Amino acid sequence: MITAPITSSKLLDHVKGLSEDGLTIFLLENQSVRGALLHGTLMINQMRENHKTGILETLALGHGYLAAGLMTSMIKGDDRIALHLECGGPVGGMLAEASAHGDIRGYLKNNPIEITEPPKSLDLSPYIGPGFLTVTKFIQEARQPYSGQIMLEHGSIAKDLAEYFLHSEQAKTLFFLSIQFDRDGDAVGAGGLFLQALPGANEGALERVSDRALSMVSLGEYFSQGGERDQLIARTFRDPEILAHRPAQFFCHCTKGYFGEFLSSMDESARSDIREKGPFPLKISCHNCGSEYAFSKDEIQTLFA
């Protein structure tokens, strides 16, 4: 992956002054509720630079990244999890994928999102519209991925994911996703919270912790002010049991070599067409991270030799 630098010195200084991005996994209510708190301000800004997104696009795709990162609290080892949104609104759809190692990537189908007038709020439902949400788990030991799908009911990634887990996995779940923008349109804080009742949970356990979560300050605002994950968990919930700390970062495993192998595997007619027509340098972009790899005419000749 080619990581595009954050170009705003003001924003870069701000991000450097914040707590580190990452995921904290914990238990509540005598191990009746599993929770995860994600800080992802740097991740969202690096995503924004690579995908060249505006405010609306950053909000939509950023919510997907935060949600995918939170769901990694349910996987381990080399497992991966992905959410795929197909929708009829201007967003068009998105894919966000995350590994248990904390690598998160993905893209918007429509970037930029075509709108007729500036957004009046940060409510994404008018831009998502009807459609489907698919969650896929890539478990290392499994022979094939496991996927579940629901029809969108809310036009909100957080609310529709909660519906997915309720109907597909019979697990009461809550998601809180938040990105804070300043007056210049910079994403100055980003975070997410995941709460899920475990099998055999105490009666009303999720509702009790949900009430406390609703009393929290906006996660985007909290992290924009330098807040720490564990401190917020400790002051919000009663007797949390911290299980693990994991990294969270915008990262894709694509390389120029990978795309070179793809080009060299093309059939002869396609390769002949590229040799004759170019254009050179031949540029290929990775959908998942926005990285662009350029191949000169000499490089192409070597690949096709």
Residue 229 lies in a domain: yes
* CA diameter of the chain: 70
Residue 213 lies in a domain: yes
38 bridge partner residues: 23, 192
Domain boundary among 208, 232, 250: 250
* Helical (H) or strand (E) element with 58: helix 55-71
Residue 2 lies in a domain: no
Residue 114 lies in a domain: yes
Percent of the chain with pLDDT over 90: 92
Is 189 found in the same domain as 96? yes
- Asked if 176 and 236 touch (Cβ cutoff 8 Å), the reply is no
Domain that holds residue 85: 9-250
DSSP string for 104-134: EEEEESSSSPP-SS--SSS--HHHH-SEEEE
Q: What is the pLDDT of residues 36-63, one digit of tens each?
A: 999 999 999 999 999 999 999 999 999 9
Structural domain total, the chain: 2
pLDDT score of 65: 98
Is 291 found in the same domain as 239? no
**What is the spatial distance between Cα 214 and Cα 212, in angstroms, rounded to a whole number?**
5
**What is the spatial distance between Cα 106 and Cα 57, in angstroms, rounded to a whole number?**
12
Is 218 found in the same domain as 240? yes
Residue 4 lies in a domain: no
Q: What is the pLDDT of residues 162-182, one digit of tens each?
A: 999 999 999 999 999 999 999
Query: 150 pLDDT exceeds 90?
Result: yes
Give the full edge-to-edge strand order of the sheet including 80-87. 146-151, 131-138, 80-87, 93-99, 103-108, 249-250
**What is the spatial distance between Cα 23 and Cα 258, in angstroms, rounded to a whole number?**
30
Residue 1 lies in a domain: no
